[in-house]
Amino acid sequence: MLLIKSLLLNLIFILAAQADPSPVEQLKSFISASATFTADFRQVSIDAAGAPGKTSSGQFYLSRPGKFRWNYLRPYVQQIVSNNGKVWFYDADLAQVTVKNLDDSLGATPALLLTGQVELEQKFTLEAQDREGDLSWLKLLPKDQESGFKYILIGLEKGQLSGMELSDNFGQLTRIYFSNIKTNGKLNNDIFNFSIPQGVDVFEN
């Protein structure tokens, strides 16, 4: 009888594991099922010694395919806007706008991963990480050696985007935490239109 109970328990655990989507499946499902996504975010820079440094915050907007907007509100004003195959990087303090083609901007803004414009398995090696409670982590290792990042970690909680961690080639670690998340809500297309302010320098690649 004890042996039968043990076998039944093992079977239950196996079936439960099979029923739980892998992080890769969760990310692909999130990308395909979430036409829009909005959230507040908090971004923390971690130095090479593991000490937290500069913290910034703002709002993030995503509309597939190919549109997103980061509004950095504190402690400085910056905007990163993607639309119509281009990405605009605006720094209010520097009075400067840099414009890049979408394909050339992956290293600078991994939010492109979420737009449905990037073939994940073509651009990255995908590695599932250990779970932390309900949070599943997926590591993306760029196949392009000239990428600006060593790796990108994406955290998913019950199939919903929860956070990102980015490690660049200079030993800088950046963590992004999302809150007040809303998916598939109606977004005004004007959110993804960028108007270049007067009097700023513009650099276009």
Q: What percent of the chain has pLDDT over 90?
A: 39
Q: Is residue 8 part of a domain?
A: no
Residue 23 and residue 136 in contact, taking contact as beta carbons nearer than 8 Å:
yes
147: domain range?
Answer: 21-204
Q: Is residue 81 part of a domain?
A: yes
Question: Who wins on pLDDT, 174 or 17?
Answer: 174
**Model confidence pLDDT, tens digit, residues 28-55:** 888 888 889 999 999 998 877 777 778 9
Q: What CATH number is given to the structural domain containing 47? A: 2.50.20.10
pLDDT band, very low/low/confident/very high, at 104 (cuts 50, 70, 90) = low
Question: What is the average per-residue pLDDT within 86-109?
Answer: 83
- What is the number of domains present in the chain? 1
- Which residues, at least 6 apart from 63, have a Cβ–Cβ distance to it below 8 Å? 35, 36, 187, 189, 191, 192
